[in-house]
């Protein structure tokens, strides 16, 4: 069996899909992510350094991938995301229109060029 090794918070953020450190710590506090290990005690001002067990983080990533793949096979069999572990259905992603009418673009440009609620008028050059 492999010896457990620790990964820094930066390594963990990268390994978990480029999550922010704040997001990783929030998920760990909520029990949705592996718990960190305190590496140093720190002092009254700073809490000290933390790290994560690399194998636990990799297992968490593998579980997320397996959950995604199980959802795909359920949908292929006629199921939906809503039936998979009570997870909420993901919103449908629609394609943007392929053609754009140039008249609509001109109208939008004119609308945004006028001052209105929440919009500042265009800056005027200062006179000397």
DSSP 39-91: -----SS----EEEEHHHHHHHHHHHHHHHHHHHHHHHTT--GGGSTTPPPPP
pLDDT tens for the chain, 128 residues: list them. 678 999 999 999 999 999 999 999 999 999 999 999 999 998 888 889 999 999 999 999 999 999 999 988 777 777 655 544 544 555 555 554 445 555 554 444 445 555 666 656 666 667 66
Which of 82, 28, 84, 77 has the alpha carbon at shortest distance from 57? 28
Percent of the chain with pLDDT over 70: 59
Is the CB of residue 42 less than 8 Å from the CB of residue 49? yes
């Amino acid at each position: 069996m492999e010896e457990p090794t620790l990964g820094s918070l930066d390594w963990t953020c990268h390994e978990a899909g480029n999550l922010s450190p704040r997001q990783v710590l929030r998920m760990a506090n909520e029990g949705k992510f592996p718990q960190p290990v305190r590496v140093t005690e720190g002092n009254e001002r700073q809490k000290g350094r933390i790290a994560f067990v690399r194998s636990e983080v990799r297992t968490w990533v593998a579980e997320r991938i397996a959950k995604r793949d199980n959802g795909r096979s359920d949908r292929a069999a006629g199921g939906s995301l809503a039936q998979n572990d009570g997870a909420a259905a993901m919103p449908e992603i629609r394609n943007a229109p392929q053609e754009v009418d140039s008249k609509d673009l001109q109208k939008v440009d004119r609308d945004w060029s006028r001052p209105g609620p929440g919009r500042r008028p265009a800056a005027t050059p200062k006179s000397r």
